[in-house]
Amino acid sequence: MKNLPISRSAGPNIALGKTNSSESCLAGFESITDPAGAAHAEIRHRAFSIWECAGRPSDCELQHWLEAEAEVMAGH
C-alpha cells in the first residue's frame, strides 16, 4: 500500500514546538469515527486561525482555544 501525504494544520502547538510526527500523521482521522473528534478538529483549526490573526503570540494559547471553542459550540 502506498503512503499518501496528509496535509493538516498542526495548530498553535507548532509555534510552541510541541508537534509529534505520529500525532500529526493521524490528525484529522478522529472525525471519521468520532463526532466529538470532528468538533475538536474544528476547534483546533479555528484556534489556529485566531492565533494567526492575533500575530502569532506565544502566550495566548488558552485564550485562543476557549474563544474558538465558544464559536464552534455556538454554531452546533
Alpha carbons 50 and 76: distance in angstroms, whole number? 19
| 56 lies in some domain | yes
pLDDT tens readout for residues 5-51: 444 444 454 444 444 444 445 455 545 567 788 899 999 999 999 99
Distances from the Cα of 38 to the Cαs of 42, 47, 54, 70, 76, in angstroms? 6, 14, 24, 15, 12
Question: Model pTM?
Answer: 0.56
| 45 lies in some domain | yes
- How many domains would you assign to the chain? 1
Question: Domain containing 69: what range?
Answer: 35-76
For residue 5, what pLDDT is reported? Answer: 43
